[in-house]
Amino acid sequence: MTAHPAAMIPPPPPAINSRRTTRPPGPLVIDIEGVTKLYHMGEETVHALRGVALKVHSNEYMAIMGPSGSGKSTLMNMLGCLDTPTSGHYQFNGRDVSSMSDDELASIRNREIGFVFQTFNLLPRSTALHNVELPLIYAGLPPAERREQARQALENVGLGDRMLHKPNELSGGQRQRVAIARALVNRPSIILADEPTGNLDSKTGEEIMQLFDQIYEQGNTIIVVTHEEDIARHARRAIRLHDGLIESDRMVNA
Q: Can you give the binding site for other proteins, defined by CB under 8 A?
A: 77, 80, 82-83, 102-103, 106-107, 109-111, 115, 117, 121, 123, 125-126, 134-135, 137-143, 182, 186
Output the smallest distance, CB 223 to other proteins, in A.
14
Nearest CB to other proteins, comparing residues 118 and 152: 118
The amino acid at 254: A
Burial 64-79 (b: 16+ CB within 10 A, else e): bbbeeebbbbbbbbbb
Nearest CB to other proteins, comparing residues 8 and 144: 144
Output the smallest distance, CB 155 to other proteins, in A.
20
Nearest CB to other proteins, comparing residues 83 and 228: 83
DSSP helix/strand/coil, 250: strand
Question: What residues does 194 pair with on adjacent strands?
Answer: 225
Degrees to nearest 5, angle at CA 75 with 70 and 80: 150
Output the smallest distance, CB 131 to other proteins, in A.
10
Nearest CB to other proteins, comparing residues 108 and 252: 108
Output the smallest distance, CB 75 to other proteins, in A.
12
The amino acid at 116: V
Nearest CB to other proteins, comparing residues 1 and 38: 38
C-alpha closest to that of 64 among 78, 82, 47, 45: 78
C-alpha closest to that of 116 among 28, 56, 45, 176: 176
Phi first, then psi, for residue 10 (nearest 5°) are: -60, 150
Nearest CB to other proteins, comparing residues 136 and 159: 136
Output the smallest distance, CB 146 to other proteins, in A.
8
Nearest CB to other proteins, comparing residues 101 and 218: 101
Output the smallest distance, CB 147 to other proteins, in A.
12
Q: Residue ranges of the alpha helices (H) in the chain?
A: 72-79, 102-112, 128-139, 143-156, 172-184, 202-217, 229-232
Output the smallest distance, CB 80 to other proteins, in A.
7
Q: Residue ranges of the alpha helices (H) in 36-191?
A: 72-79, 102-112, 128-139, 143-156, 172-184
Start-to-end CA span in the chain (Å): 21
